Amino acid sequence: MYSIPDCILTAFTVGAFFGLVYEALRIFRVITRNAAVTFICDIVFFVLSAGVCMFLSEMLGNCIRGWTIIGFGAGVFTYIVTIGRIFNIAENAMASAWRKALGKAAKGIRKGTAKVFGTIAQKSKAEIGKVYKHFSTVEEKRRGHLKLSHKKLYNNKRYINVGESEKSNVIKAKVTRSSREY
């Protein structure tokens, strides 16, 4: 069992070194400038720091102690406001260069995939057009007899069986509904 000052100093030292993990995750945040990436990096940092803090507490006193958590937090905070400030300046300066380089690489990938899929789309466009034209022609032929008014048959079975259709005997009526609801 360690004393309270030993626990605080050990946790402070581990927290200060754990600031490097924060810096490694911060690089992704600065380069991408995406809210989702920032959220994920924050969650990863807090989960890792909770795991390290719990492991450190168990190692130092076989139980989770508040002094260990306070020392760890103070170490991370001290790192961020001292050495971390210097790294922030360097990271921000390099981030624009990284974004430009990643942007050019992404642009090249986008152009390449657009070219491949554009070629596929252009070649398949002609074939799809032929298929559409064939099916629309077949559909027009199938419905062609309905376009000519003198060839309309209202009861094809009667025409086949009796020899006459109901074309001349059709009653046209206007159907209206009552305003009364049931």
What letter represents residue 26's amino acid? Answer: R
And the tokens for 147? 């376009």
* Chain center to CA of 8: 43
And the tokens for 102? 């990643």
Model confidence at 181: pLDDT above 60: no
User: What's the chain's average pLDDT?
Assistant: 77
Spatial contact of 66 and 51, defined as CB atoms under 8 Å apart: no
Domain locations in the chain as residue ranges: 4-122
pLDDT tens per residue across span 121-131? 888 887 888 88
∠ CA 123-125-126, nearest 5°, is 80
Q: What is the mean pLDDT of residues 64-81?
A: 85
Alpha helix ranges (H) inside 33-82: 35-61, 66-81
Judging by beta carbons within 10 Å of its beta carbon (0-12, 13-18, 19+), is residue 51 exposed, middle or buried? exposed
Distance CA 96, CA 84 (A): 19
pLDDT tens per residue across span 19-35? 888 888 888 888 788 88
* Chain center to CA of 96: 25
Spatial contact of 3 and 60, defined as CB atoms under 8 Å apart: no
DSSP letter assigned to residue 20: H
Q: What is the mean pLDDT of residues 82-86?
A: 87
| Residue the block writes with tokens 């509904």 | 177
| Residue the block writes with tokens 């581990």 | 14
